[in-house]
A and B are shown apart, each in its own frame.
Chain A
Amino acid sequence: MRSMTAKLVRHAQGRNLALVVVSPYLALIAIMAVLPEAIAPYDPLAIDASNILAPPTSTHLLGTDEIGRDILSRIIYGARVSLGVALAAVAVACLLGVPLGVATSYLGGRLENAIMRAVDVFVSLPEIFVAIVVLAFLGGDLPTLVFTIGLLYFPQFAKVAHGMTASIRSREHVLAAVSLGAGPVWIIWREILPNMRSVIIVQASFTLSFAMLLEAGLSFLGLGVTPPQPSWGQMVGTLKDYLFTNPWPVVFPSLALFLTILAVNILGDWLQDRLNPELGG
């Protein structure tokens, strides 16, 4: 036990401080997302009519919402939507964007230029407006939410993958492999994808925080998952109307969102420093 503490302290003093602080928290959120039944004190939909908009008490540790549902239990169940939607959306974005970026680099010529120009336009467009229009019409079930957010972020992966492919292809060891007769498929599989892995991982971690922010914002506006299924952004959006009756309930889901996105950003910075120290300050 003592040696473990000493080890932790030594880690904490070095560059891994961020990881030591952040990983237990993210692990907790992950457990909440995977096994909410195991830790939530109440059913997230159960109504306690004698406690409406209650402040934190011993029966309801974080208080209750406007119809008497337990805030803590709803936050625990909400982790699945808030984290799950963002993770799935990043997976969609990555699986669409990386192949597109790599393939475009092999197309060459005008087509490559045209595709990358289009990608540039989409990267800079304010994605939330597109998401609002799409979700207002299609409705916010989980798959729609995941694919809308995923489709909005895939051009970023395409851009990064395209840039990395171009630079890796001009490296000497790759040129050597090509001159020895290696075909594009072999080069992509054995040289390009392994070499861009770290950059893609960092990109994914930052996109994860953007996706969480986007999901939270859409749910806040009432365009995310359909109630009564809880998500943190949606809880804040509903409870903000009761701010002047009792500010407590709205604080906790806000805090959950803030801390989780902060943790993901810190993790992203740590990954960036660790995997690509040459990029970023």
Chain B
Amino acid sequence: MVKFLGRRLAASAFMIAIAATIVFFSVHLLPGDPVLILLGEQGAADAEVVARLRAQLNLDAPLYQQYLDWLGGLFSGDLGKSLQTGLPVAEEVLRRIPRSLELIVAGLAFAILLGIPMGVVAARRRAAPAGLAVSAVAVAGFSAPVFVTGILLVIVFSLWLGILPSSGYVAFGADPLGHLAAGLMPALTIGINFMGVVTRMTRASLTEVLRRDFVRAARARGLSHRAAIRRHALPNALVPVVAILGVRAGNLLGGTVIIESLFDWPGLSSLLVSACFARDYPMIQGALLAIFVLFAFISLVADLIQSFIDPRMRTGR
């Protein structure tokens, strides 16, 4: 187990290193000069001012030097300062990570708690009305763009029923109930979208497992159909479901972009979007890097859970 953990952590570190490199070079290769954007047309007319700011932002060094400086800063937790506010990027990024993570965890919990039972129903009654209905809900869930689901929720819960705020963020420390009320719809939106994926995977995987001999053997020993599913078929069927959840971690994170924008939730993705519009290069780099680290973290957790339920993974292939 320790060996597996070590190997998996090394893989994550490798992925983050690649991501950091890609982030740095992609942001620097894109067109547009941050100095000229910062100064505006008037300021850019003065060559001396331009040169001074360029030196101040370390943009006059050769690209490889900037890259090494950036990597060096990474290790000491320094991601530079925002061009807009002048505040450290690392602080802002760290403040926002828990807000995005919170939505993802809550959405995922919803998706799993509802998606797995729905998948079981769909697999057991494939041709019955209940099974077909569940499958239809699942396909609808992941076919709807997240903003469509989100807007539907806003229309129902804010416009018609008037019981939930349509957007905004309230700090948990300031008002715990208000925080939950504000976060409920964004989390639900992620959850509904992902529930479809979980349901379909569970259905496909369980259908396959139910055909295997060990399930028939369990039935032959006198276990009820229900017990055979719960004790024997389902644990085996869930292994590929967890694997898919790990692979789809990217989609889960990607969904937060739209959701944070729709619900004015000040998380990582909305930081990235606003930094892009403001051409705030250090902030773009910091936010992108944090997103990739979060992504690596989610896939790592998915792999660990998978190795927990499937001992074969620990020994390696």
Q: Which of B142-196 contact A (CB under 8 A)?
A: 142-148, 151-152, 154-155, 159, 166
| B91 close to A (CB within 8 Å) | no
Q: Which residues of A contact B250 (CB under 8 A)?
A: 124-127
| A114 close to B (CB within 8 Å) | no
Partner of A137, one of B31, B148, B152, B261: B31
Q: Are A132 and B257 in contact (CB under 8 A)?
A: yes
Q: Are B18 and A121 in contact (CB under 8 A)?
A: yes
| A183 close to B (CB within 8 Å) | no
| A209 close to B (CB within 8 Å) | yes
Q: Which residues of B contact A233 (CB under 8 A)?
A: 145, 147
Taken together as a complex, chains A and B put the C-alpha atoms of A209 and B143 apart, in Å, by: 8
Q: Are B145 and A262 in contact (CB under 8 A)?
A: no
Q: Which residues of B contact A128 (CB under 8 A)?
A: 254, 257
Taken together as a complex, chains A and B put the C-alpha atoms of A237 and B273 apart, in Å, by: 14
Question: Which stretch (B68-76, B110-118, B201-209) binds chain A?
Answer: B201-209
The 9 closest A-B pairs by CB, nearest first: A281-B204, A136-B276, A126-B250, A262-B143, A128-B254, A137-B30, A254-B148, A126-B254, A281-B207
Say what secondary structure dominates the interface of chain B. Answer: helix
Q: Are A243 and B148 in contact (CB under 8 A)?
A: no
Taken together as a complex, chains A and B put the C-alpha atoms of A130 and B269 apart, in Å, by: 12
Say what secondary structure dominates the interface of chain A. Answer: helix
Q: Which of A49-66 contact B (CB under 8 A)?
A: none
| B108 close to A (CB within 8 Å) | no
Given contacts A126-B254, A243-B154, whether A137 and B32 have CB atoms under 8 Å apart is yes
We find that the number of chain B residues with CB closer than 8 angstroms to chain A is 49
| A140 close to B (CB within 8 Å) | no
Q: Are A136 and B295 in contact (CB under 8 A)?
A: no
Q: Which of B198-236 contact A (CB under 8 A)?
A: 203-205, 207-208
Q: Are A243 and B166 in contact (CB under 8 A)?
A: yes
Partner of B139, one of A125, A129, A240, A265: A265
Q: Are A129 and B144 in contact (CB under 8 A)?
A: no
| A71 close to B (CB within 8 Å) | no
Q: Which residues of A contact B291 (CB under 8 A)?
A: 126, 129
Q: Which residues of A contact B27 (CB under 8 A)?
A: 133
| A90 close to B (CB within 8 Å) | no
| A153 close to B (CB within 8 Å) | no
Given contacts A254-B151, A258-B148, A262-B140, whether A281 and B254 have CB atoms under 8 Å apart is no
Over the window 114-127 of chain A, the binary record of Cβ atoms lying under 8 Å from chain B Cβ atoms (1 yes, 0 no) is 00000001001111
Taken together as a complex, chains A and B put the C-alpha atoms of A155 and B289 apart, in Å, by: 21
Partner of B251, one of A126, A254, A281: A126
State how many angstroms separate the Cβ of A116 from the closest Cβ of chain B: 15
Q: Are B272 and A217 in contact (CB under 8 A)?
A: no
State how many angstroms separate the Cβ of B243 from the closest Cβ of chain A: 12
Q: Which of A90-127 contact B (CB under 8 A)?
A: 121, 124-127
| B83 close to A (CB within 8 Å) | no
Taken together as a complex, chains A and B put the C-alpha atoms of A280 and B273 apart, in Å, by: 37
Q: Which residues of A contact B147 (CB under 8 A)?
A: 216-217, 220, 233, 236-237, 240, 254
Residue in A127, A217, A244, A247 with the greatest tally of chain B CB atoms within 10 Å: A217
